[in-house]
Structure 1
Amino acid sequence: MSPAPPTSLRHAIAGGLILAGLALQVLRLMGLPIALPAVSYAFWLAVVLLWPDLKRGNRRQAGILAGLGMALALVAALFHGAEIAWHRLLDGNSYVVAMLVGVSFITLIGTRQGHAAPPGSAVTGRRGTGGTWLGVHLLGAVLNLSTVFMVGDRLRRHGELTLPQLLALNRGLSSAALWSPFFASMGVVMTLAPEMRFTTILALGLPLGMLAGTLSLLDLSRRFDLTEVAGYSLSPRSLLMPVGMATLVLLFHYVLTPALSIVSIITFLLPAVALLANLPRGPRWTLRRVRSHTLERLPAMRGEIALFLCAGLLTQGLSAFIGALTGSQWTLFAHFGAPQAVASFLAIVASAVAGLHPIIGVSVLASMLELEGSRQTLFAFVALASWAVGTSVGPLSGINLSLQGRYGVSGGVMMRHNLGYAAALSALVVGAILLLDAWL
């Protein structure tokens, strides 16, 4: 194995700042008097240092979001007399970024290379393709994007990845956004709708996720000959870690620390479990792995960290502008019911097809709504569903950009081949929205 390339001082400082942001947020959760801007500034400084390394599309999108947010806040203050808490303007989505950084530490559980789950065996045909979807869906629900590379690289041992394999990887991960508490989508939603009922979302989102898998397998079987297509077969041991982590999170949320949100619990629990898993091999081993993670993995998260922070700034600026313009009396919908929820879902998915990340549509929508408790649950489902569908089909979504960079497939190809799937899944989502609205 060749040694890793040396890390530049700029990347090392940025990685240290990201780790410091996580540590400060954990200390805040422990009750220490640390202001949220301290966490936000650490993350923003890291983004500034890593800005030259962002891909051009990510840099343009993040820059536009941040510029619009700042411009709207300035207009609200200069022309409408709004009082802006400037020192808090950068706090948007800091909770979510801290959670994302915390989740990244889960890759430290396992082998030295960071494979947090033992590999499954390769099979072919419909069973193999279904196994690829299921493996990425269940493991990715905790491990996020790293699972796509773990499974994809294993499949590539049998030759370059084919389109059915790439589509299974894409759909398996994106559909986990419907229910996984470890996904950034859930973190954003819980921040924007703190009164949402997670158990309701789980009861609806998990079955819908399984239906998305069935839909994917039927679609791929109809359009491609899967006879010789290699797939991934889960071993029972592979499920121990994600099931165990989900159980721990629910235990803390409902029994041990009920006052903390799931986002907060994940932020401190996953890094703690990762450290405890490494300590039996000694403090020096553990410190070496944390150092490697800080210098290599954390700076590599620059794209998602920049996007979430800049989208948070847009939300802050847009909320201030709308509040100043309307006296905080205007909302997009007088009542957020099924028709409004369906229209919002379709608009966010359409914006994702046009190249915008779903977080932008979700953040803009949240800034224009004033929702009571039960309506927050409906909004949360709309946001998660539009994220699941939008990231699968959006050519500039994180999953499609990652597949393009790793395996050479273009975002346009993925979008074209996912349009039918997205339309069918959208029909199921609309039905689920109607059901949830009646339920609430």
Structure 2
Amino acid sequence: MKPEFAKIAGWLLFGSLVLSIVSAFTHLSSFWAGVPVWVAAFLLLPFAKPNQKKQVIVLLVIGSLCLMFGVFHGIDSRYLLVALEANQKVVNMLIAVGFLKICTGSGAADSRTLPKGRRALLRTLLGAHLFGSVLNMSSVIIVGDRLARQQQITPVQGLLLLRAFCICAFWSPFFAAMGLTLVSAPGSQLSTLVLYGIPVSLAGIAVSAWEILRQPAAKELHGYPMAWDSLWMPCFLALVVIFAHEYFSSLSVLTLVSVTTVSFTALWLILNQGIQQGSQKMIQHIESGIAGSGGEVVLFAAAALLAAGVAGVLTSLDLHLAPAHFGYLEASITLLILVALAMTGMHPVTSVVLAGSVLAPTVSDPNLLGLTLLMGWSLGISLSPFSGVQLSIQSRYEISAGTLLKLNWRYALVMYVVCFMLLWFYCR
């Protein structure tokens, strides 16, 4: 991507972030924050990865046709505003969390000797999970590149990176999965989703640890030099957001995450580098770093158009595709469908939006739907060879899709049973 395009897109998305935060505290209509997202999305679309670009174009075409159909059949303007918002709160949460990369210089970890053995791998799994719960995909690259400098990443180490990241989607408030779920399942509560998501995460970590540590090569493999100075930040920020949500319940979780992460980054820069140098770092990230999330931005914008279009068609035709009763059995079937869609290459953003559009209007318990969407996201990206994290690991560390699939299918079956049991327990 040309630097000038990255600079323009960066300032547009930062402007959207500012407008989004302002709209949360004032009477400014939130759809205004979606306008710069759409401008940036069309600017960034030519630079998206080929597979992602095809999917985005399909979503834009289908969403536009559905929305036009709804307009010609008399739907009201709220569906147009939903499309115009471009999932701006989720996009802006993603942009805000990206600022935390400034605070995670890897210099200290680069100077440490890599530990080796089963204990080192277990600490890496736990640490990379906590690290990734805030930094998202960046954590996979930071940890993976450090391991790759020691020697070629093995399939077992690649599996560790994949699991540590994917399991975050069950519970992390900083993940796009949580942000989109709270939007797609209106009325769902962060505290409930986290409370029930953490046990599933612990089960996922336990299953992954058992699989990884029993590998014969585990005792000879290197792990990442995890230490408190790497992990205090994600733990601190997660607690701040969770407790702030209890005291400022009128603010959306997405807004709280955005405000918390940007404020933390600004304060960290001022305390460590001073106002002048800190400001330069922020500007540098806006002009060159934000555009790195361009693929996600165009996907979220296109998904917003699709959601508005599908909802408009269902309303105009008075169709109700959701089951009359949505309990643990229906949730488990939905979860299976979400994983199956992920295996076809459909991005979880698209499948979650579609599921939310169809089910949310009639589901009586939005938390049950929210848990189902989070589970579908996590299991889908961990199993599908087409997920973004798998494609990154495959290409960056030369691990074949077939190898990861062979290492993952048992985990997916076990975790599906775990999810089924938790959904049953929740409904009971």
Change in 2 beyond 3 A, CA 1:364/1:393: same
Task: State the AA in 2 paired with 1:22.
Answer: L
Change in 2 beyond 3 A, CA 1:370/1:47: closer
Q: Identify the residue that residue 55 of structure 1 maps to in structure 2.
A: 49
**Partners of 2:367 and 2:146 in 1: how far apart?**
38
- For structure 2, the 5+ residue unaligned runs are none
Change in 2 beyond 3 A, CA 1:405/1:299: farther
TM-superposed deviation, 1:200: 2.6
Matches within 5 A, 1:10-409: 10-31=5-26, 33-78=27-72, 80-85=73-78, 86-111=80-105, 122-222=114-214, 225-255=217-247, 257-280=248-271, 281-326=273-318, 330-370=320-360, 375-409=365-399
**Partners of 2:218 and 2:120 in 1: how far apart?**
9
Sequence identity of aligned pairs in percent? 30
Change in 2 beyond 3 A, CA 1:246/1:116: farther
Please say which of residues 347-356 and 402-411 is displaced more in the overlay. Answer: 402-411
Does 2:408 correspond to 1:421?
Answer: no
Are the aligned partners of 1:11 and 1:49 in contact in 2 as well (CA < 8 Å)?
A: no
Change in 2 beyond 3 A, CA 1:120/1:262: farther
TM-superposed deviation, 1:106: 1.3
**Partners of 1:210 and 1:122 in 2: how far apart?**
25
SS in 1 for 2:115: strand
**Partners of 1:19 and 1:223 in 2: how far apart?**
45
Are the aligned partners of 1:117 and 1:241 in contact in 2 as well (CA < 8 Å)?
A: no
Please say which of residues 260-269 and 215-224 is displaced more in the overlay. Answer: 215-224
* TM-score of the pair, normalised by structure 1: 0.91
Number of matched residues?
Answer: 426
Are the aligned partners of 1:120 and 1:232 in contact in 2 as well (CA < 8 Å)?
A: no
Are the aligned partners of 1:126 and 1:217 in contact in 2 as well (CA < 8 Å)?
A: no
Task: State the AA in 2 paired with 1:61.
Answer: Q
**Partners of 2:170 and 2:342 in 1: how far apart?**
16
* TM-score of the pair, normalised by structure 2: 0.93
Are the aligned partners of 1:24 and 1:38 in contact in 2 as well (CA < 8 Å)?
A: yes
Are the aligned partners of 1:395 and 1:401 in contact in 2 as well (CA < 8 Å)?
A: yes
Please say which of residues 82-91 and 258-267 is displaced more in the overlay. Answer: 82-91
Please say which of residues 204-213 and 7-16 is displaced more in the overlay. Answer: 7-16
Please say which of residues 427-436 and 338-347 is displaced more in the overlay. Answer: 427-436
Are the aligned partners of 2:82 and 2:305 in contact in 1 as well (CA < 8 Å)?
A: no
**Partners of 1:58 and 1:318 in 2: how far apart?**
21
**Partners of 2:374 and 2:360 in 1: how far apart?**
18
For the aligned residue pairs, the C-alpha RMSD in angstroms reads: 2.2
Are the aligned partners of 1:332 and 1:368 in contact in 2 as well (CA < 8 Å)?
A: yes
**Partners of 2:54 and 2:405 in 1: how far apart?**
20
TM-superposed deviation, 1:46: 1.0
Q: Identify the residue that residue 8 of structure 1 maps to in structure 2.
A: 3
Are the aligned partners of 1:331 and 1:370 in contact in 2 as well (CA < 8 Å)?
A: no
**Partners of 1:212 and 1:337 in 2: how far apart?**
23
